[in-house]
Amino acid sequence: MKKRKLGPELEVSALGLGCMGMSYSYAPFPAKKDSIKIMHQAIEEGITFFDTAEVYGPYTNEELVGEALAPYSDQVVIATKFGFNIEDGKMTGVNSRPEQIRKAVEGSLMRLGVETIDLLYQHRVDPKVPIEDVAGTVKDLILEGKARFFGLSEAGANTIRRAHAVHPVAALQSEYSLWTRQHEQEIIPTIEELGIGLVAFSPLGKGYLTGKIDENRKFEPGDIRAVIPRFSEDARIANKDLLDVIHQFASQKNATPAQIALAWVLAQKPWIVPIPGTTKSHRLTENNGADLIEFTIEELRDLEQASAQVKIVGARYTEAQERATGL
């Protein structure tokens, strides 16, 4: 698989693997041995970049990733995140106070079984803590050898600039796909100016852009899509117009809809790294095939024009999720 850089120094595979769904948000979850097998397959297929967070579980996802990747610690880049209070096994709100960051990092190091976290993100901005204090704390942790690179997640342009002025931000992790493009207005130009990479989560629209989720799909208890407005039955019907566009280009390129959706993200900038998640072996291989798809300038223009005519129905999260979710 090709490689890309997040910031000037952090090199990762062009596609990463989002591990959240192995133990959080997309129930039912696979057996641990099956998740470990998927991560090992990912390495065999060229993936070097794995994404987790302390709140995924909480804690269980970091433990899973740590166990699975222990034999490959010198071959992989592991990203994890801090930024929430966790009480009695539940996330109870944002918290990026310096002492909380240090507590979270110590826990992550232990669960991941590493001495240094490759990429350490603030999971969500804490409005009660100046971002300068957050960046300063991470800077100290990097100097202490407990982290290598600093990242932010779903942060605004001004916050990114302020953090970057204290310590260079290697990557911003935010949602980006053919049906979630609001960051093109201000965020992407800002990080391009600053030399910051974009790690695109949910590049397959939480599965919808694969074409495998229609209006008849019933979501399992514990699957967050059951309450997301964009996954209501009416929205799934309305948004089929975008699927029709993706299917058309998939047919032209002898590819699957998932591969077209991922290849589109890859084609936007050379410093964007999508991190689709999956718990299925054949889907992992399918997703990784997107790295081989190249669009001509004309094909990208046509895909852009066709998709721009589709009005996406439904918000990407509920209001409560937008305010406080760890997704």
In whole angstroms, what is the distance from residue 179 CA to residue 312 CA?
7
Q: Active-site residue 56, yes or no? A: yes
DSSP 3-state assignment of 87?
strand
Q: DSSP letter string over 207-227?
A: GGGGT---TT--PPTTBGGGT
- Among the options 24, 26, 56, 121, which is catalytic? 56
- 2 close to 292: Cβ distance less than 8 angstroms: no
φ, ψ at 209 (rounded to 5°):
-75, -5
Helix (H, G, I), strand (E, B) or coil at 126: coil
Structural contact between residues 139 and 164, judged by C-beta atoms closer than 8 angstroms: no
Residue that has been written with the tokens 């769904």 in this structure: 21
Contact 284, 37 (CB under 8 A): no
**Those residues with Cβ within 8 angstroms of residue 256's Cβ, 6 or more apart along the chain or in another chain:** 210, 250, 286, 289
3-class secondary-structure state, position 32: helix
Percentages helix, strand, coil for the chain, rounded to the nearest 5? 45, 20, 35
Q: How far apart are the first and last CA of the chain?
A: 27
Residue 177 φ then ψ, to 5°? -165, 180
The DSSP call for residue 22 is G
- Do the Cβ atoms of 86 and 48 come closer than 8 Å? no
The catalytic residues are 56
